Amino acid sequence: MSIRRALLAATFLALPAAAGAQTVPTFTGSQVVTGLYIGAGAGANWINSPERLNLSGGPGSLVPLPPGVTVSNVGKANFSTGWTGVVSLGWGFGNGLRAEIEGNYRSNEVDSIRGLGLAPIGRTGGFQQTYGVMANVFYDFDLAQFGLARYSVVQPYIGVGAGYARSDWKNLRGVSAVNGLRFNGTGSDGQFAYQAIAGVAVPFTWLGVPGLTFTAEYRFFGMVEPEMKATITDAANRVVSSGKIEAEKYNHSVLVGLRYAFYQPAPPPPAAAPVPPPAPAPQVARTYLVFFDWDRADLTTRAREIIAEAAQNARRVQTTRIEVAGHADRSGSAQYNQRLSQRRADAVAAELVRNGVSRNEIFVSAYGESRPLVPTADGVREPQNRRVEIVLR
């Protein structure tokens, strides 16, 4: 297996062991990553241009140079916009912190080569490719975790990483338009690598897809200068100069990707609307008025309805005493009205008994014209005073 494949494959080696150690977390109300997750992203990569080239350690001219031609050991290379891809395996600690192992790849085509005593240089070509394995630490700024929002629709994050990267030159080449000398760079070298990351995440948990998150980020990636092989040959392909090239390696990348947390809990359901307290039970009337026609003691239809209601409610409120008091207006003599109010009270009491009230619970009294509801002069017919009052005790 080649070294580059081993570097990329190392990202996945810890997956079975980490999955076995996973436990299902308790939902905290925020959308920070909790537990095992995987991620992947891709985007554009720019090499810090121009990239400085230092040719050193060569044996010098191996064949005579053309008159007036010198070879310099300092040059620069510019690269076109390339692409990058990353895959990661990580663990979220539920408090905004994450740690992960990442495998990455970058590829850029050479755009121009300058210096080295060959300028102007044309017919350039070749690629620079970089493979790496990094250990990263992130912190997610979850607004819900700070109590600033219920869910973090947009979640900024920052991170740093360190690891190992290997850079390859794939037939970097160019031809001097002045003297016909040819530059060729090849080789592969691995060195310490480092990076800084800033991005934003959009968790899809609040849309009903727990664990899935969209990411967009910027990465600065650098590594200690690797050493490549370089030769300069003449038109007959004879080596004029050779040595090692130390190349600066600074990359700027913009990526979009997806991250999936295996056991991210779903958000809690929306809070239910408060249940209004039950309406208080209607109050049962304890006083009823039964009215009579002038000089009459028989019950009207309306009077029977009122007495039936009083009898029904007497059972609901568990009364122990029902007072029935008869009254009359002042249109007759006081003695007559006393007897008339008694007959009215007796008629109401009999109707209560007919509606199921025990006669022993009923206490009948008659007041004649002595307690008018509406005070009047003697001899006045007042309908409000021709009544029987039922009181539930």
Each domain of the chain, given as residue ranges in start order, spans: 3-261, 287-392
Q: Is the pLDDT of residue 207 over 60?
A: yes
Which residue shows structure tokens 């991620």? 39
Contact 205, 144 (CB under 8 A): no
Residue 173: band (very low, low, confident or very high) from pLDDT cuts 50, 70, 90? confident
- From residue 276, alpha-carbon distances to 31, 194, 219, 279, 337 in Å are 32, 60, 54, 8, 54
**Residue type for position 28:** T
CA distances for 125 relative to 77, 105, 171, angstroms: 11, 20, 7
pLDDT at residue 51 in the model = 63
Query: pLDDT-based confidence at 26, cuts 50/70/90?
Result: very low
Q: Give domain 3-261's CATH architecture.
A: Beta Barrel (2.40)
Q: What is the mean pLDDT of residues 15-25?
A: 40
Give 99-148 pLDDT, tens digit per residue.
Answer: 999 999 999 998 888 877 777 888 888 898 999 999 999 999 887 666 66
Q: How many CB atoms lie within 10 A of CB 272?
A: 6
CA dist., res. 132 & res. 11, Å (int) = 10
- Whether the predicted pLDDT of 155 surpasses 80: yes
Q: What is the DSSP letter of 48?
A: -
Q: What percent of the chain has pLDDT over 90?
A: 30
Question: What burial class does residue 160 get, using C-beta atoms within 10 Å of its C-beta: 0-12 exposed, 13-18 middle, 19+ buried?
Answer: middle
Q: What is the mean pLDDT of residues 368-389?
A: 90
pLDDT digits (tens, 9 = 90+) for 47-58: 886 666 766 654
Give the pair of three-digit tokens for residue 342: 């008694």
What dotted CATH number matches 287-392? 3.30.1330.60
**Alpha carbons 200 and 217: distance in angstroms, whole number:** 6
What percentage of the chain has pLDDT greater than the value 70? Answer: 80
Contact residues for 150 (Cβ-Cβ < 8 A; gap 6+): 29, 144
Q: Any idea what DSSP says for residue 374? A: S
More confident residue, 230 or 43: 43
Say yes or no to pLDDT of 86 above 80.
Answer: yes
Contact 98, 137 (CB under 8 A): yes
| DSSP E strands, 48-154 | 51-56, 74-79, 82-93, 97-115, 121-140
Q: Is the pTM of this model over 0.85?
A: no
